[in-house]
Amino acid sequence: MSTPAATAEEVEAQGGLRPAEFLRRFARGDLAEVRVILALALIWLIFQLQEDRFLTATNLTNLVLQITAVGLISVGVVMVLLLGEIDLSVGAVSGLGAGVMAVLAVKHGWHPYLAIAAGILAGTGIGLIQGALFTRFGIPSFVVTLAGLLAWQGVLLKVLGDTGTVNINESKITGLTGTFYSDTVGWIIAFVCIGAFALVSLGGRRRRQKAGLSAPPMAAVLTRIAIVGVAIAAAVAVLNSARGVPLAALILVGFVIAFQYVTTRTRFGRHIYAVGGNAEAARRAGIKVNRIRIVVFAIASSMAAIGGIMAASRLLAVNQSSGGSDLLLLAIAGPVIAGTSLFGGRGTVWSALLGALVIGSISNGMDLLALESSVKFMVTGGVLLAAVIVDALARQQRQAAGRV
């Protein structure tokens, strides 16, 4: 019988992966982030060779703004996928959340922040309803949320009324995607982020040592800090050379970090993975499976509403097509491409950000090349299909390894 693969913590404590082990785990799908980063680098190289404007600071800043809404929606999608479920209503919910905000702020004169809160709470309520229906009656989640996709689109049309379009000119709303910080503030943000990452990394190593657990060598920790520091500094330098660090990017990264912490460092997060891995075993272990599912669906719809509000802020309007088109496809495709399994129990919230970057880069590059919409849909669909096939093959390999 073969020995099981080392966990991520064990590998880190050993100071890294040996080449053979790295290749084995890479092929098995355990190093999805590495695979996605390599794919992203290849995508950027291809588009840069085809169009030299692709890697300019201006276009990269536009790329960041373009992926914000999809990335925020994908954060909630990741939570649902970790359960082994699917939410097909996130696109429609994003449009409805934005519609509620726009109508309250523009037509009824609500304070912008109250209108934003109302839009998010509308998404939360939708998630609670869909989660309760899914758990109470045992209806497959894709059926409940497919019905929601249709129903919430109808509600959006009702909310918008006869005009069909609500233009937004309130600075507190448009500023969500229209605010850019100065170079000085950008570098302060970079230094704070690097310092925080260093403190967390060194603190984690110290805690493992005090607990008598194996800890990664100091050289490995410092190398990781240096790599992250260089990446953050490079990103800030590029953004500063255009319009500056956008508030939208900070909002997206902030939500990703927050939910990454929730899923990896809290009991609630561990329960999500447990339910996604084996719901019956989780139930026998005393985990309130239905409660976890309802809360996760509420989170997903709330994040969908937040993403819709950010999209409305960027487009300066909400209309009958808000939340439609390929938004649902992109929000689900991103995390799957970045390694979150459709079968549940595997993946990280970082896949929302990485997947949005991959999908956004492909879409942005094809726009620069002025390709037809038909080509864009076919390419995006092909990338998603390839990611699903890779996920399925990796799952088969893990199952085969477990039987050896």
Of 147-151, 314-318, 341-345, 393-397, where does mean pLDDT reach its minimum? 393-397
- 403 has pLDDT over 80: no
Phi-psi region of 164 (alpha: psi -120 to 50; beta: other; left: phi over 0): left
Neighbours of 152 (CB within 10 A): 29
Q: Which long-range contacts (CB under 8 A, 24 or more apart) does 17-25 make?
A: none
For the segment 71-85, what is each residue's pLDDT rounded down to a tens digit? 999 999 999 999 999
CB-CB contact of 67 with 248 (8 Å):
no
The model's confidence at residue 30, banded by pLDDT at 50, 70 and 90, is low
165 three-class SS? strand
For the segment 88-107, what is each residue's pLDDT rounded down to a tens digit? 999 999 999 999 999 999 99
Q: What is the SS3 assignment for 17-67?
A: CCHHHHHHHHHHCCCHHHHHHHHHHHHHHHHHHHCCCCCCHHHHHHHHHHH
For the segment 2-24, what is each residue's pLDDT rounded down to a tens digit? 333 344 444 444 444 555 555 55
Predicted confidence at residue 404, as pLDDT, reads: 44
- 235 has pLDDT over 50: yes
Q: Which two tokens stand for residue 129?
A: 């309803």
Domain boundaries, the chain: 8-12+31-182+244-403
For the segment 118-130, what is each residue's pLDDT rounded down to a tens digit? 999 999 999 999 9
For the segment 372-393, what is each residue's pLDDT rounded down to a tens digit? 888 888 887 887 787 777 767 7
The model's confidence at residue 31, banded by pLDDT at 50, 70 and 90, is low
**How far is it, in rounded angstroms, from Cα 6 to Cα 21?**
9
Predicted confidence at residue 66, as pLDDT, reads: 92
What global pTM score does this model have? 0.88
Predicted confidence at residue 64, as pLDDT, reads: 93
Neighbours of 110 (CB within 10 A): 17
Predicted confidence at residue 34, as pLDDT, reads: 76
The Cα angle at residue 183 between residues 180 and 187, in degrees rounded to 5: 110
**How far is it, in rounded angstroms, from Cα 28 to Cα 345?**
15
Question: Shortest CA distance to 142 belongs to which of 75, 89, 79?
Answer: 89
Q: Which two tokens stand for residue 394?
A: 């990796």
Predicted confidence at residue 143, as pLDDT, reads: 94
* β-strand partners of 317: 167
Domain made up of 8-12+31-182+244-403: CATH architecture: Orthogonal Bundle (1.10)
**How far is it, in rounded angstroms, from Cα 105 to Cα 184?**
33
CB-CB contact of 387 with 333 (8 Å):
yes
**How far is it, in rounded angstroms, from Cα 177 to Cα 47?**
26
Neighbours of 292 (CB within 10 A): 21
Q: Which two tokens stand for residue 83?
A: 């359960």
Question: Shortest CA distance to 142 belongs to which of 134, 150, 153?
Answer: 134
Average pLDDT estimate for 223-245:
92
CB-CB contact of 74 with 337 (8 Å):
no
Average pLDDT estimate for 197-209:
89
